[in-house]
Amino acid sequence: MKTLLEVKNLKVHFPLKHSLFSGLRESVKAVDGVSFTLDRGETLGLVGESGCGKTTLGRAIVRLVAPTTGTIWFEGEDLANLSGAALRARRREVQIIFQDPYSSLNPRMTVEDIVGEALDIHQLADSQAARHARVVELLGDVGLDADYLQRYPHEFSGGQRQRIGIARALAVKPKLLICDEPVSALDVSVQAQIINLLQDLQREHGLAYLFVAHDLAVVEHISRRVMVMYLGKVVELADAKTIVRSPKHPYTQALISAVPEVDPDRKRQRIILPGDVPSPIHPPAGCPFHPRCPVAEARCRTEVPELREVGDNHLAACHLAGA
Amino acid sequence: MALLDIKNLKLDFRSGGTTARAVDDVSLTMTAGETLGLVGESGCGKSVTAQSIARLVPAPPASYPGGEIWLNGRDVLQMSAAELRSIRGRVVSYIFQEPGASLNPVFRVGGQIKESLKLHQPARATEAEVVRLLKLVGIPAPEQRVRSYPFEMSGGMQQRVMIAMALASEPQLLVADEPTTALDVTIQAQILDLLRDLKQRLGMAILLITHNLGIVGDLADRVAVMYAGQIVELAPARELLRRPLHPYTRALMNSVPKLHGAQDRLSAIAGNVPRTGDFPPGCRFAPRCPLARPECAAAPPALAEVETGRWVRCPYWK
């Protein structure tokens, strides 16, 4: 069995407070009908701008937010419909690391307890000695010295804190790690350390990653395939190299052209999109991207484009994307 | 005459009885209409250097034990409060990373821009002028937008309002401190495009502070790279990006993944950025430098011109 995770038509809608007199019940459609698969040991990159639903999708898979409809098949079980002990058991295999290493660690716990707590919850250490030994081993895995065990999060730099977050996630031997913007808050010179660490850990432990980020260059570097989201929907999904070299969706094309180029001899034609991302409460009719799209036609305003094959293992949700 | 001439600037921060030097012997010049990129990681001193130009760093806790900041032929460090008020906005204006935090949430944006006009150009403090400024920075339907509150605008629109406010007094120097860091990449492209356009149309100089080397290549004529409170490399932007000379600049460029890049593994820089007040002796990059020799830790290297217009703080750059 190669496929580890299969998400089908997942929706996460957050209802808004509605007024007493209006019968309308509005909601933020953060994730709106997303389907994809993820293989064992694979890295799937997920990019999109703020508000596109990438973080909510990641959190829904770990069940930190409840899906509205849809299924999340993980090794033959639907995570979307699990609860209680069954969910807790499965959560051991799906872990998450967060963007902000400053707010995702309890400031009043020592490193040993932060990492050890994961072992306690899932009863993975028989004795205090075993727990201690395992925490030391985990810290070693992420490149931290055992001298740090009794220190508190504030004593560490951003990169070191992210390493602690990774050790905590790895403590329960997960098969899938959701990486929610793990390097965005770090200094540029430290980002590469964490990216390399994640790649090493993947090789050693056969981990699969859903790597959420807004930096396309980072995502291209670490991922095998890349998925692009816009307003709660997947607009393009393809091999990482393919999506960067020949993107088919006009949004992906604009996104890639907007990345500032370091190489002065490589000047690209920049596509400047007009306007902002529309509100996910009232997404535009038809193709959600049509108000900003440079090539939109009449039918884009009425017909919702399906995510369809436009090339070898290359999906795009655009009426005009040629094969 | 240079528009801006910073000479051997030193800036200390005092806290709890200890003094930490955040900026150490920084010298920079800018001519009128030039765009200079100031690049570095958090804590390298790039923002406080730029904020010192209009003396925006609260003193105390800051103090200036040495150096000069000549702006339009006058030393900012010797100015009285009244003189400082006369250059703030009129000679040098600022835009910051978080436009939402720089705007007052309880006033309409039109009123806030008008307030800036009243201070610096009272004759022009009219509704029509506010609309003209909003149009200048590319805000659609400016006649309606003057009535908007900041929360009704997106981050990109808020940053445009900040730019309109900074331009209200027609400054000769615009300091843009990470102006697009909080914005999405497609909005970042819009704002960079706007800055490029304004620079051409209005001929003002821009001091662009960023940690993103791609943005530097996009907009800047020259670049200064800072590390641990010092300038380590200064060069024309294209030349620096094509051929970085200082080991830190080189390591930084190699550690950033590039679009269309083919590397399997990034060459990471070991260790962490040193904290202010805790800078290593000798060369400050030596503990993380792949080319470091024992003598690097002994004596601090000087910033030297190694080729025409190219300055490097490392004797072993070759």
Q: How many CB atoms lie within 10 A of CB B27?
A: 16
pLDDT, one tens digit per residue, over A32-41 is: 999 999 999 9
Q: Which amino acid is at B167?
A: L
Please check whether residue A277 touches B, CB under 8 A: yes
A–B CB contacts, 8 A cutoff, strictly below: 127
Q: Which residue has the tokens 């925006």?
A: B56
The answer to whether residue A169 scores a pLDDT higher than 60 is yes
Q: How far is CA B94 from CA A11, A93, B102, B166, in A?
A: 43, 49, 10, 6
As a whole number of angstroms, the distance between CA B41 and CA B50 comes to 14
Choose the closest CB to A189 out of B193, B215, B252.
B252
A117-137: average pLDDT:
92
What pLDDT, on the 0 to 100 scale, is given for residue A51? Answer: 83
Q: Closest-CA residue in chain B for A51?
A: B184
Task: Output DSSP code: residue B150.
Answer: G
Kindly state whether B197 is in contact with chain A, defined as any CB-CB distance less than 8 angstroms.
no
**A23 confidence band (pLDDT: 50, 70, 90):** low
Q: Cβ A160–B258 below 8 Å, yes or no?
A: no
Q: Is B263 in Cβ contact with A262 (below 8 Å)?
A: no
* Minimal Cβ distance to A190: which of B154, B217, B272: B272
Cβ separation of A244 and B156 shorter than 8 Å? no
A245–B contact, CB cutoff 8 A: yes
Say if residues B68 and B6 touch (Cβ distance below 8 Å): yes
> Is the pLDDT at A1 greater than 60, yes or no?
no
Residue of A nearest to B288 (CA): A189
Q: What is the ipTM of this complex?
A: 0.80
Q: Across all residues in chain A, what is the average pLDDT?
A: 90
Chain B residues within 8 A of A260 when measuring between CB atoms: 188, 192, 212, 214-215, 217-218
CB atoms within 10 A of CB A105: 21
Q: Do A258 and B185 touch (CB under 8 A)?
A: yes
Q: Place domain A3-17+26-93+175-316 in its CATH homologous superfamily.
A: P-loop containing nucleotide triphosphate hydrolases (3.40.50.300)
The answer to whether A159 contacts chain B (CB < 8 Å) is yes
- A73-112 pLDDT, tens digit per residue, is 999 899 999 888 899 889 899 999 998 878 889 999 999 9
**Between chains, do A260 and B214 touch, taking CB under 8 Å as contact?**
yes
| Among candidates A188, A192, A270 on the partner chain, residue whose Cβ is nearest the Cβ of B211 | A188
Q: Do A262 and B190 touch (CB under 8 A)?
A: no
Whether cis (ω within 30° of 0) applies to the bond prior to B61 is yes
Q: Tokens at residue A188, please?
A: 């540029």
The closest CB to that of B268, out of A193, A216, A218, belongs to A193
Find, among B77, B71, B68, the residue nearest to B90 by Cα. Answer: B71
Tokens of B43: 């804590």
Q: What is the number of alpha carbons within 13 Å of residue B178 lying toward its C-beta?
A: 17
Tell whether A27 lies on the interface with B, counting CB pairs under 8 A.
no
- Written as six digits, the tokens of B179 are 């102006």
Pairing type for strands A69-74 and A43-47 reads unpaired
Question: B267 at the A interface (CB within 8 A)?
Answer: yes
What are the residue boundaries of the structural domains of chain A, listed by start? 3-17+26-93+175-316, 108-173
d(C-alpha A210, C-alpha A43), whole Å: 6
Residues in chain A with CB shorter than 8 Å from the CB of B266 are: 192, 195-196, 221
Confidence of residue A149 (pLDDT cuts 50, 70, 90): very high
Q: Name the strand (E) or helix (H) holding A216.
A: helix A216-222
Determine the residue among B46, B195, B260 to mutate to test chain A binding: the one whose Cβ has the most chain A Cβ atoms within 10 Å.
B260
Say what the pLDDT of residue B153 is.
Answer: 85
Whole-angstrom distance, CA of residue B31 vs CA of residue B49: 17
Task: Please tell me the predicted confidence (pLDDT) of residue A19.
Answer: 61
Nearest one of A323, A322, A314, A301 to A228, comparing CA atoms = A314
Sequence-distant (6+) residues with CB within 8 A of A107 are A152, A153, A154
Whether the per-residue pLDDT at A253 is higher than 60: the answer is yes
**Using a CB-CB distance cutoff of 8 angstroms, which residues of chain A are in contact with residue B41?**
187-189
Q: Phi/psi at A5 (nearest 5 deg)?
A: -135, 135
Instruction: Look at B218 and A160 and tell me if their CB atoms are within 8 Å.
Output: no
Contact A172, A119 (CB under 8 A): yes
Q: In what order do the strands lie in the sheet with B205-210?
A: B92-95, B173-177, B205-210, B35-39, B222-227, B230-236, B310-312, B304-307
Q: One digit per residue, pLDDT tens: chain B, 318 residues?
A: 799 999 999 999 988 888 889 999 999 999 999 999 999 888 899 999 999 999 999 888 899 999 999 999 999 999 999 999 889 988 999 998 888 888 999 999 999 999 888 888 888 888 899 998 898 888 888 888 899 999 888 888 888 898 888 888 889 999 999 888 877 888 888 888 889 988 888 889 999 999 888 888 888 999 999 999 999 999 999 999 999 999 999 999 888 888 887 777 888 888 888 888 888 889 999 999 988 888 898 889 999 999 999 999 999 988
**A195, A216, A273 member nearest B259 (Cβ):** A216
**C-beta separation of A145 from A189 below 8 A:** no
Tell me how crowded residue A46 is: count the other CB atoms within 10 A of its CB: 30
* Of residues B185, B252, B258, nearest to A214 (C-beta): B185
In whole angstroms, what is the distance from residue B40 CA to residue A152 CA? 28
DSSP string computed for A78-89: EGGG--HHHHHH
Cα(A310)–Cα(B93) distance, integer angstroms: 49
Burial class (CB in 10 A: 0-12, 13-18, 19+), B28: buried
For tokens 């409060």, what's the residue? B81
Cα–Cα distance measured from residue B2 to residue B31, given in angstroms and rounded to the nearest whole number? 5
> What dihedral angle (degrees, nearest 10) is formed by the CA atoms of B264, B266, B267, B270?
-140
Nearest chain B alpha carbon to A269: B189
**Residue linked to tokens 């890639």:** A256
Q: What is the DSSP letter of B27?
A: E
* Helices (H), ranges, chain B: 46-52, 81-87, 99-102, 109-120, 127-136, 142-145, 155-167, 185-202, 213-219, 237-242, 247-255
Q: Where on the phi/psi map is residue B14: left (φ > 0), alpha (ψ -120 to 50), or beta?
A: beta
User: Is the minimum CB–CB distance between B268 and chain A shorter than 8 Å?
Assistant: yes
A203 at interface of B, judged by CB pairs closer than 8 A: no
Residue B108: the pLDDT is 92
Question: A262 to chain B nearest CA, in Å?
Answer: 4
B152 touches chain A (CB under 8 A): no
Chain A contact present for B84, CB below 8 A: no
Cβ separation A263–B156 shorter than 8 A? no
